[in-house]
Amino acid sequence: MKAVVLAGGYGTRLAEETEVRPKPMVQIGGHPILWHILKHYAHFGVDEFYVALGYLGDEIKRWFVDRQTLAGSMTVDLSGGTIERLDLRSEKWKVHLVETGVESMTGGRILRLRDHLQDGTFLVTYGDGVADVNIQELVAFHKEQGRVATVTAVRPPARFGGLVLDGSRVVRFSEKPQTGEGWINGGFLVCEPAIFDYLSDDDSVLETDALERLADEGKLAAYQHQGFWQCMDTLRDKRQLESLWQSGTAPWKLWK
């Protein structure tokens, strides 16, 4: 199955990093968050990706080309002008890096990939979030539901701890509770080609032009994910993900 990663936005809320690189290239543990996302999908057997490029897309292309060219050890014979690869280390992925317009919206980027995706069910996610979603279970759920699309519903972690009060007295602190009972779209979508009927041009927004209309028509399912999920919207989010990675307890690292 093919997976689309939306990687073309400006990432303005993380301007400290994204003035010089696209958001998917912001590093966690020495690897771009895009790499973490692809590793996650590959762990569940997905190995063909369409990365929808936009803002600073050449930086993403350059990373993949450099990784393929420079990975592993090599011998450079300066006198003979030859390079021998000694232990080529590479992922078993096919990655299509597709220009989808600098100003295109999320739905517009997917629409530009229509010719590559209309032969069957495909996956879509954002290029700035990680989770421990079981992709195989997600796809099986989508097939059981028989709807045009399935979103992964998550409960976002609260930004701050809470207070439990008894009148004016503080009973205890509640550290980082979930934000009420609300669910949000956490990405990790499964779509049928029929979703293209809800997208018209580069200005189409996946969330409002497609998903909201599908919800109104009863054609959108929600896979409720109770495990870990975290987007990287701010510098604080980046630091939190980095801390988890460095501690060796990153919940999204399911691969070995």
Low pLDDT (below 50) residues in the chain:
none
Containing H/E element for 42?
A: helix 33-43
161 contacts 175 by C-beta, under 8 angstroms: yes
Give residue 167's pLDDT: 83
Residue count of the chain, please give it.
Answer: 256
Query: What's the fold here for domain 2-153+181-247?
Result: Spore Coat Polysaccharide Biosynthesis Protein SpsA; Chain A (3.90.550)
Percent of the chain with pLDDT over 70: 96
Of 231, 234, 244, nearest to 18 (Cα)? 234
pTM of the model as a whole: 0.91
Q: What is the pLDDT of residue 179?
A: 52
Is the separation of the CB atoms in 217 and 197 below 8 Å?
no
Q: What pLDDT is attached to residue 166?
A: 81
| pLDDT one-digit tens code per residue, 4-31 | 999 999 999 999 999 999 999 999 999 9
The continuous run of DSSP H or E covering 28 comes out as strand 27-28
| Distance separating alpha carbons of residues 57 and 23, to the nearest angstrom | 10
